[in-house]
Structure 1
């Protein structure tokens, strides 16, 4: 028999008092800022994660007390995590606040969260399964992949029933599966997720969508590799790839055009440098120039407009975050199991 699937288990049961939520909050900060909905919850708080890594995807059971989750633009740009989280609540429900209005996701529903987008939710006392899927693995197979955030497929939908059964059985059988068997499960799982999200697996849009996603992925990679080049622009990208400006805009329409996308990636790269402890001695003007801005004042204006705070404030937040991570790493991890699942989330 081969090596069993990588497994991660975390529980606050052996921690005491306020430490329960403090340790959990630090662990879940790999993705979200978590807050209790009232101070008196602290002593009775509980949380558990029990997950497995199946090749290129991970499924994790999460059981916890009522809490509020947020994922803001600064966190998204700092961690660079870019995957979907397909959730199935077996108990409790999720109240999501969106620009288009509130969305309530009930037990039995299939819920989609795009971790490249901001999030503001409150989960009741809950027990759920979360399937973490890299965008590159799923996006080519679903229609309109950048507009799936907060999508909810109701529990009585036939495909939702199939996917729910699959996820529950996957968690049940995972302890006995080998890494080789886990890898074989990835493709059929993606097909079932795509069928559930698309609503009709026979619609003939998959090929064109896959081609578009492949082109956009190539363009994004080129932009990322040249983000520090001051000459990087919509015109230079169009010239390198031999596409018209109008075609380029349509490909990046979701990002308000390629110029906006380049600017946002420059700012995200600057945020990474500002919050990196190894870059603390670098002057802000040097960072501004290194990510393609022509001067410090224009960089500060663009940064504040995008994030709502200044580069100096971002640098200070990075110092505090690094200090918290150092404090957390000095604890005794065997008290609560392990936090391997955090590494999976970062590297999927």
Structure 2
């Protein structure tokens, strides 16, 4: 018996893939589009999930067969799911984050438990194998209270090779195992302790926690990020303008954004993401007007950069905008909205 205030649900499929994979696709559809891992797929597909929710906090114990889960650019541009998810792979090979950022490498030790962070407000494609994972949905505001830029967590993976990571894994596994015997307040505290540990693990990986120097780096990182977000539509926004306005050195800022390929690459990435949102939100605006408003004055270079980032031409996404917005409106009024999946 679960304590009042802790909500539990479960779902499983087994057997002929033509039926079980379809049922799994429908179950996952509020958040992910699921397809077979191979062109012809497997003859059978087994998967299960057990969900526990405490107010706006949710986690899942998931066993799955091979599949590919996708959140497309069109989908994230029309939905309002902004949680950060953390997947702890306990059995089998860890999932692969496809199309990752430069410098984010897959684990080198397949037998070691690993943890993958994803930003639900960014497109992603995940290839899963036979295995088991614990999946935690954390409201963005809680992550950002401990980590200066939740968006930069997208696609980061860490292995259980440090004492802190091993403490985190033990805590997450214990929460899953013991929640049946916990009261709501105790379970909530345990979940929030897990969030603090998650932020500490990824903060240490990014060099943003651990000592006074790291605290300064974290403060500067947040300062630069906020300045960039506030000035995306400023045609003069550039690494030079950021450094001059904030009185920072080029070398120190470059190291902070090394995982993004440098500050210029970070600015371009954020502008492309803003362009994607505006292409869907403003179907009556010309594509070039949206692009130039975000500092892309050359139409062909904007199209090339957008296609490299999202594997779709901006003109195509813009053309689909009315349909995407209509489908998003229908999904929000469906009997099973995305929020219910959490």
- Deviation readout 1:132-179 (Å, 9 max, x if unpaired): 455535547xxxx9698333226xx87666444422331244356566
**Counterpart of 1:225?**
230
Instruction: Specify the alignment match of 1:258 in structure 2.
Output: 263
CA distance in 1, matches of 2:292, 2:85: 33
Q: 1:129 & 1:248 partners in 2: Cα distance?
A: 35
**How far off its partner does 1:317 sit?**
5.6
Aligned-residue CA RMSD in angstroms? 4.3
Partner in structure 2 of residue 282 of structure 1: 285
Q: Deviations over 1:4-61 (max 9, x none)?
A: 55636353669x76640331341341xxx43223556587554434132477x64322
TM-score when normalising by structure 1: 0.69
Relative distance call for 1:194 and 1:290 in structure 2 (3 A) is closer
Would the aligned equivalents of 1:93 and 1:105 in 2 still touch at CA under 8 Å? yes
Instruction: Map 1:208-219; keep pairs closer than 5 Å.
Output: 208-219=213-224
Deviates more, 1:293-302 or 1:231-240: 293-302
Q: 2:60: which partner in 1?
A: 60
The residue matched to 1:37 in structure 2 has which SS?
coil
Distance of aligned partners of 1:82 and 1:305 in 2 relative to their CA distance in 1, 3 Å threshold: same
- The partner residue of 1:270 within 275, 283, 307 is 275
Structure with greater contact order relative to length (CA < 8 Å, sep ≥ 6): 1
Equivalent runs, 1:175-254 vs 2, <5 Å: 180-186=185-191, 188-190=193-195, 192-193=197-198, 205-254=210-259
Task: Give unpaired runs (5+ residues) of structure 1.
Answer: none
Determine the structure 2 residue equivalent to 1:301: 304
Deviations 1:76-111 (A, max 9, x none): 78879574514142x5443537785775645xx431
How much has 1:218 moved relative to structure 2? 2.2
Aligned to 1:112: 115
- Mapped to 1, the partners of 2:153 and 2:338 lie a distance apart of 30
The aligned counterpart of 2:101 is: none
Separation of aligned partners in 1, 2:215 and 2:85: 17
Change (3 A) 1:64 1:332: farther
Is the Cα contact below 8 Å between 2:283 and 2:321 reproduced in 1? Answer: no
Structure 1: how far apart are the matches of 2:179 and 2:246? 44
1:340–1:73 CA distance, 2 compared to 1 (3 A) = closer
- Post-superposition Cα deviations, 1:263-313, rounded to whole Å, max 9, x if no partner, equal 21111100112233xx22221022112222224344223323433432112
Aligned to 1:153: 160
Q: State whether residues 21 and 42 of structure 1, in contact with CA within 8 Å, keep that contact through their aligned partners in structure 2.
A: no
